[in-house]
Amino acid sequence: MKGFLAIYLREVFLLRKRLFKVLLSFSVNPFLYILAFGIGLGKHLSIMGRPYLEFLIPGLISASSMLQAFAINVEINVARFYLKVFEEFQSAPISPLSYALGEVLSGVTRAFLSVLIIIVLGYLLGGVKLNFSGIFFLVVFLNAFIFASLGLASAMSIKAHADQTLITNFIITPMMFLGGTFFPVENLPPLIKPLIEILPLTLVSKTLRAIAFGEEFYYQNILILAIIAMLCFFIAIITIKKAKD
C-alpha cells in the first residue's frame, strides 16, 4: 500500500505544481467543441429529441476522460526513457501491482479534472443541466480506469518514445470520433456499425447519455465495463513485469 501511495502522490504533486497550465490545456478542446459544434453548428439542431448541446456534453465527457486517462503514457515514457525514473522504481521495494495502481489512479484523477471542466463549461456556455448522479461518475471512473490501464500498458510495451504517437493516431483518435462522441452510432454504415458498437467508448457514451437524460439503461453495461477494466489492468501489470525483465 505504501508503494502505491508513493507512486500516486508523486504524480499528484507533479500535477499540482502545474495545475493551472493543466486545467488550461484541458479546457481548450472542450471549449472549442462546445462553442463550434454545440452552440454554433448545433444551436437549432436536435438529436434524440434533445438539443444537440445536451447530446454533445456526455459524449465529450466520455471522450475527454478517455484521452486524459490514456495521456499518462506520455509522462510515463518521458520518465522511463529520459529521466530514468522507472529504473529507480525497479530498484525500490515496489510491486508491479502497486506501481500500476498508482499510475492508473493518477490517470483517473486527470480524467475527472477534465470532466469537471466540461460540466462547468457546458453550464456556463449553454446552460446545460443534466443528471450527473453517482452512477454517472461510476461509469466515468470505469472508462478512465480502462484507458489509463491501456495507456500504462502501451507505455511499458513500446521500445521508443516516438512510437507512442502511432498508437494514439491509429487507435485513440479514431475511437474518439467514431465512438458516439459527436453523433449516434446508429447513423454509421451497416458494415462498420457492429464493430463500432463493441468499442468501450461507444458503450460508455451510450450509458452516460442514458443516465444524464434520466432514461433507462442496461446495468449489464456497467458490469461489462468493470470486467474490461480489470482485464486491462491485468494486462498493464503483465507489461510492467516484462519491462522490468
pLDDT at 146 over 90: yes
User: pLDDT of 74-124, one tens digit each?
Assistant: 888 777 766 666 666 766 778 889 889 999 999 999 999 999 999 999 999
Least confidently predicted of 25-34, 46-55, 72-81, 117-126: 72-81
Least confidently predicted of 82-96, 120-134, 186-200: 82-96
pLDDT at 2 over 70: no
Distance CA 46, CA 43 (A): 8
Question: By percentage, how much of the chain surpasses pLDDT 70?
Answer: 91
Distance CA 162, CA 160 (A): 5
pLDDT at 162 over 80: no
Total domains in the fold of the chain:
1
Q: Would you say the pTM of this structure is higher than 0.85? A: yes
Q: Which domain holds residue 151?
A: 2-244
Here the cell at position 152 is 500504462
CB-based contacts of 22: which residues, under 8 Å, 6+ apart? 15, 110, 113
Helix (H) or strand (E) holding 47: strand 46-47
Cβ atoms of 59 and 205 closer than 8 Å = yes
Q: What pLDDT does residue 207 have?
A: 95
